[in-house]
Chains A and B, each alone.
Chain A
Amino acid sequence: MFADYSWPELGAIFAMQGFAGLILFSVFVLMALGLAIIFGQMGVINMAHGEFMILGAYVTYLVSNLFADYMPALFGGYFFLAMALAFLASGALGLLVEWGLIRHLYKRPLDTLLATWGLSLILQQIYRSVFGAREVGVSIPDWMMGSLPITDLIEVPINGIFVMTLAVSISLSVYILMFKSTWGRQVRAINNNRVMADAVGINTAWTDRLTFGIGCGVAGVAGSAFTMIGSTGPTAGQLYIVDTFLVVVFGGAASLLGTIASAFSISQAQSIMEFFLSGSMAKVLTLLVVVGILMIRPQGLFALKLRK
């Protein structure tokens, strides 16, 4: 298998698959970040997370059509507006869902799992009714198409670089928010001791709602990124949901840094293996390795040392 290629060729293959993997990594990171915020900080498992992502993708699709129809001159810049709107749309839906559903189920994680699965079915059906059952493609502005050649053998897709930059900046923003802002402090306080946080006057209900909303908003941005690597359809959210959960659990849900490291290793492993094995076997192998490691080390590969 490996012997067929010369060293520089192998290097190029790894690099290119690595880059393809980096786009996958970016989507994973954005999805996992949103989920890690919600699960790691709040203990809530949101099985509808994929649907929040797809909402962002659909918003991007709508914005791209809007610009194409009414403001073709500005088409090059539509993507940034689309991402912002995706964040707001998914975030708003998140706030609504937290208020209507999640807040009643905080102490019952297994029940939240089931209820949010039901929500995902409902959302999928709504998307099907509103946007149609077929998948829709999103046209990318010209400047994002094509690749940049780095060396003779290695070419890097521009949209890939864009998505990666996006993932990095959002991760940084979330990190700053979580550790520097008032909201972040409140979330961490609640995480440590909810009763005391309540007692010192933190509005835990609103902080929870905001946290859920932000987690979903980040998923919406992931959806925008997703439009560049896959077609958007009502069931597309299901594609990555298992991977995303594994990324979060593998990374040791409590740690944002762990989540990023975990997303990186899983996406890279899968993408590199995809070149040498068939797509399905690469996926199976990656999943098996992740699950295997989790069975040996349940707190995740990158978890910080816990007390017991």
Chain B
Amino acid sequence: MTERFLLSVEDLTVSFDGFKAVNDLSFYVEPNECRVIIGPNGAGKTTVLDLICGRTKASGGSVKFKGKELLTMREDQIVNVGVGRKFQTPSVYEDLTVFENLELSYPKGHSVFGALMFQRDDPVKARIQEIAETIFLDDQLDEKAAFLSHGQKQWLEIGMLLIQDPELLMLDEPVAGMSVAERKKTAELLNRIIQDRAVIVIEHDMGFVADIATRVTVLHQGQTLSEGSMDRVQSDPKVIEVYLGH
């Protein structure tokens, strides 16, 4: 059963001082699926991503990625197993250039010895160039990340994830705070990168969601309210009442 799914979340629970932010949550993601998680604020969407990527410790349940239990792993181990996560507010290395940001994320030289011996050779430079073009930042490679626009920082962060070539990519509101033009470009970028991997996206922009989603999960008060295709979910009366409105 678990082999069919890339990610199996079962009975996931986390409790903060008695308050259950995520309450016995279960869902399953297939390889190459684009799962969008929607729901009102406080539903626990970001917390779910935090639990999967190891940022927050779960109180109970299980998260299996390709059969491996993630809840007992460290954050860096989870990343190296193939799960990438993009944060809501862009978190890039402000003092480093775009090139250096991508280089740090390059999936080689992650041990102490590897980092000491790491060479900035041609394959590395070529790959960084390739990723930079994908994220529209090939002209800004020597620019310090602090000087990028908000949207560009989001792209850089996506690039830092892409270069690790994760099998599961988790994006938290990837177009939040972007201008209309940036949104279009981002949609284009995301449509390209979700071809080869499974993606979990948290979003509020319904048009955007309809464009990319394979399946939609609606979260409410830490539990699944509804799940299915975009059409099915949009017409579900429970969802309309809690979130979408009339």
Contacts and interface: CB of A to CB of B under 8 A. Distances in A.
Contacts of B17: 307
Interface in A294-308: 307-308
Interface string B164-205: 000000000000000000000000000000000000000000
Interface string B194-226: 000000000000000000000000000000000
Interface of B: 16-17, 56-57
A307 B17 CA distance: 7
Contacts of A307: 16-17
Nearest to B55: A308
A92 B16 CA distance: 41
SS class, residues of chain A in contact with chain B: loop
A223 B21 CA distance: 48
Interface string A55-99: 000000000000000000000000000000000000000000000
SS class, residues of chain B in contact with chain A: loop
A299 to B, nearest CB: 14
A189 B80 CA distance: 40
A307 B18 CA distance: 11
Nearest to B16: A307
Interface of A: 307-308
4 contacts: A307-B16, A307-B17, A308-B56, A308-B57
A255 to B, nearest CB: 15
A114 B17 CA distance: 36
Contacts of A308: 56-57
B161 to A, nearest CB: 23
A308 B17 CA distance: 11
B43 to A, nearest CB: 19
Those 4 A-B pairs whose CB atoms lie nearest each other, nearest first:
A307-B16, A308-B57, A308-B56, A307-B17
A132 to B, nearest CB: 50
A168 B17 CA distance: 31
A14 to B, nearest CB: 40
Contacts of B57: 308
A297 B63 CA distance: 27
A127 B134 CA distance: 66
B112 to A, nearest CB: 21
Contacts of B56: 308
A150 B56 CA distance: 55
A238 to B, nearest CB: 38
A52 to B, nearest CB: 36
A306 to B, nearest CB: 10
Nearest to B56: A308
Contacts of B16: 307
A6 B4 CA distance: 73
A307 B50 CA distance: 13
A253 B154 CA distance: 37
Nearest to A307: B16
A307 B59 CA distance: 11
Nearest to B50: A308
Nearest to B17: A307
A14 B216 CA distance: 68
A305 to B, nearest CB: 8
A308 B16 CA distance: 9
A307 B21 CA distance: 12
A308 B21 CA distance: 13
A308 B56 CA distance: 6
B94 to A, nearest CB: 16
A307 B19 CA distance: 11
B54 to A, nearest CB: 11
A191 B57 CA distance: 24
A71 B17 CA distance: 58
A224 to B, nearest CB: 40
A307 B16 CA distance: 6
B109 to A, nearest CB: 29
A182 to B, nearest CB: 26
A166 B17 CA distance: 36
A116 B56 CA distance: 35
Nearest to B57: A308
A308 B58 CA distance: 9
A303 to B, nearest CB: 15
A308 B57 CA distance: 6
A308 to B, nearest CB: 6
A267 B57 CA distance: 36
B19 to A, nearest CB: 11
B15 to A, nearest CB: 10
A307 B47 CA distance: 13
A138 B16 CA distance: 53
